[in-house]
Amino acid sequence: MGFRAIEIDRFTEVVQSCVGKPVHIRKRVMKMNNTVVCKCLFGNDCRQQDVLIELAEQVVALSSGYYVADLFPTLTFLSTISGMKSRLTKIHKSLDNIFDEIFEERRIRRQTVGPTEDDLIDVLFNIKERGGLRFRVTDNNIKAIFLAQAEVREAFKGEKTIAETELHKLVYLKHIIKETLRLHITIPLLLPRECREQVKIGGYDIPEKMKVVVNGLACGTDPEYWDDAQTFKPERFENTSYDFFGTSFEYIPFGSGRRICPGIAFGLVSIELTLVRLLYHFN
């Protein structure tokens, strides 16, 4: 049994042990997901797991909040006086220190006893040492992957122990997940983009080099493209070609293009598995 299934079993047992008592499902699911992600990234002996989870939650909170500096990107001093820049810098330094410690411990272990973990760190170290890619892989590249996946964690809220190979049978459940992500996109404002040339969008002239922020929630609830846009209707996805990969700009819960969320498959499996487990065991 893989560690994903083991953690889901533990999650189910904890919920079952709380019969007659209120259970904060969101916190329990987040803790389970974070444990799975940390084991996938760092193996079974990540001493810094709790600190990493706390920092990741801070990053998500800052990324999804409302800040005046986002409305006036040319006024760079706003990010300084609002305290946003200093908070992000502090979190970034803390993450760097933790990653450096993890990398150094793994590097020393690989030199003394060889590769011992089948996790993402070893995979990336192997790529770095063998040089099988057309671009150079550095510790900073590895950190970027971890940070990207950490941002994603809050978006993906679950897992389940019915075999992953059986999930394709649950057609309506997939419609429910699509509709949920349409109405409740985790980070409504997607990563900023920079115009490569002057364009006109919606009657507005966007100059070259201007940063543009796409509102993914507005796209997913635009009545021009969605009937009863604010109504939860999973059936709307029947016999449609909408997917999670940004091919239709009216539905981009994970973004689109080169900066699309790198953890789509990992996250969707987690959501489906947990939801199925909860529906199977609890009323």
What is the distance between the alpha carbons of residues 215 and 185, in angstroms, rounded to a whole number? 10
User: Is 261 among the annotated ligand-binding positions?
Assistant: yes
Half-sphere exposure in the Cβ direction for 217 (13 Å, CA): 9
What is the distance between the alpha carbons of residues 256 and 216, in angstroms, rounded to a whole number? 10
**How would you label 41-71 residue by residue, b for 16+ Cβ within 10 Å and e otherwise?**
bbbeebebbeebbebbebbbeeeeeeeebee
Instruction: Say if residues 137 and 127 touch (Cβ distance below 8 Å).
Output: yes
Structure tokens at 210: 């201007």
- Using CA atoms in the order 89, 95, 97, 103, what is the torsion angle rounded to 10 degrees? -140
Q: Which residues contact 49 (CB under 8 A, 6 or more apart)?
A: 34, 35, 38, 42
Supply the Cα-derived Rg of the chain in whole angstroms.
21
What is the distance between the alpha carbons of residues 49 and 55, in angstroms, rounded to a whole number? 10
What is the distance between the alpha carbons of residues 149 and 103, in angstroms, rounded to a whole number? 17
Q: Calculate the alpha carbon distances from 243 to 6, 105, 109, 158, 249 in Å.
A: 29, 40, 42, 19, 11
What is the distance between the alpha carbons of residues 159 and 33, in angstroms, rounded to a whole number? 8
Binding site members: 261
Binding site members for heme: 261
